[in-house]
Amino acid sequence: MGFIFSKISKLWSFICRMATGEEEEVFDFPKTLEEFKFYFNKEGQLRNVETDEPFNFVVDPDNHKYNQKRYEALGNIITDHVYKLLEDHKLKRVKIPVVVDDEPEEPTSFFYMSEDALEKDKLLILIHGNGVVRAGQWARRLIINDCLDSGTQLPFIEWAFKEGYGVIVANTNYNKANDKKDGQEIKYSETPEDHMECVWKNFIHKSKASAIGIVAHSYGGVVTLELAKNHIDEFWRRVFAVALTDSVHSFHHQNGDESVIHFYTERAKNWASSLDELDTPIETYSDYCPTVAAGTDKHEYTSYSSRFSIFKFLSEKYREMTEPGGEKAESSEKESSVKKEAEETAMSQDISASQIDVEMNSQNPDESQKEEL
């Protein structure tokens, strides 16, 4: 209701301005963090250069619009600051769509990727939610009012590097030229789902990674489910875990089929906002994804509050998929057993082993999937 009221209020304000000929007030705000007189201290907290006080939203009690526009201007600066932090962590900006030299110049989006991401055997993909957040952010409000660790994806990136992962940081909300509301739509990145599909097809699909983990927050869960639907066979082969934080995905509305549902029950988990203690199981009647408490009832804080549980989950799922006794090993053992039975039967029926191989391959074009599916 609040969202609808906000839209109606903005529409009414626009109509009134048009009727009276009144132009919308334009404010001129600083363009850099230094000009705003803010800095991040050693704890990653945003502080005023002169007073060392935290950010204060209300600077003009009689002008809410000014306060809001000032906050948004600072938010845009924060976005650029986080981009720089990603680059400081040795992630490079990669443009999409992939441009061919003889194609006419079109607006581009981008995402971030560690330098050797496509060569690594392990890959971690980070997908933020919807709205104003951009690559590297979970929640702008936390960056401004709490700290960089809670509001950005840096703790996840640092953990991934420590564990030997390549990293891809999606930028799914960068959908228009120069990131402007009235900008031209970017081809193959018109929506968050389109953006992620483009990154998958042109980069992740072509990478050498045999083990891919995904961490997605809020609407990022919707994006991930669409990706799983489009590439479920590849998900079974390569994606060992999907960690969601307060995801808003819906198997019903997104038409997830049995294979996708099975994948989520086996390899995904959602850490949802809740008053319960961290990792307490939560009953869900409309979702097939195992769900536990994130250790906070604040939506935007769920990624940070559950990070250590997510790291543990990713490590456990990776071992299940890759170590003896894990899913791949079990699948291989069952496959060998089935083949042995077939060979014994064949011997009694004078069927050659080579014929059996042909039959098994024709029935199971992708051997690595058959047990899971």
Annotated active-site residue in 189, 218, 273, 303: 218
- Counted residue by residue, the chain has a size of 373
- 106 three-state secondary structure: coil
Matching residue, tokens 């077939």: 342
Nearest to 172 by CA among 206, 124, 123, 138: 138
| DSSP helix/strand/coil, 226 | helix
Residue 165 CA to residue 289 CA, distance in Å, equals 25
Nearest C-alpha neighbor of 195 from the set 138, 125, 245: 125
- What are 52's two structure tokens? 């060392």
**CA 361 to centroid of chain Cα atoms:** 35
Tokens encoding 10: 């903005």
Compute the distance between CA of residue 99 and CA of residue 110 in angstroms, rounded to an integer: 12
Phi, psi of 65 (to 5 degrees): -60, -40
Q: What is the SS3 assignment for 80? A: helix
Measure the CA angle with vertex 113, ends 108 and 119; round to 5°. Answer: 125
Q: What is the 3-state secondary structure (H, E, C) of 300-362?
A: HHHHHHCHHHHHHHHHHHHHHHHCCCCHHHHHHHHHHHHHHHHHHHHHHCCCCHHHHHHHHHH
Spatial distance between the Cα atoms of 160 and 105, rounded to a whole number of angstroms: 35
- The H or E element containing residue 2 is helix 2-20
- Number of Cβ within a 10 Å radius of residue 347: 12
Residues whose CB falls within 8 Å of the CB of residue 109, separated by 6 or more in sequence, listed in order: 95, 96, 97, 171, 174, 175, 186, 189, 195
**Type of residue found at 19:** A
218 among known catalytic residues: yes
Active-site residues: which are they?
218
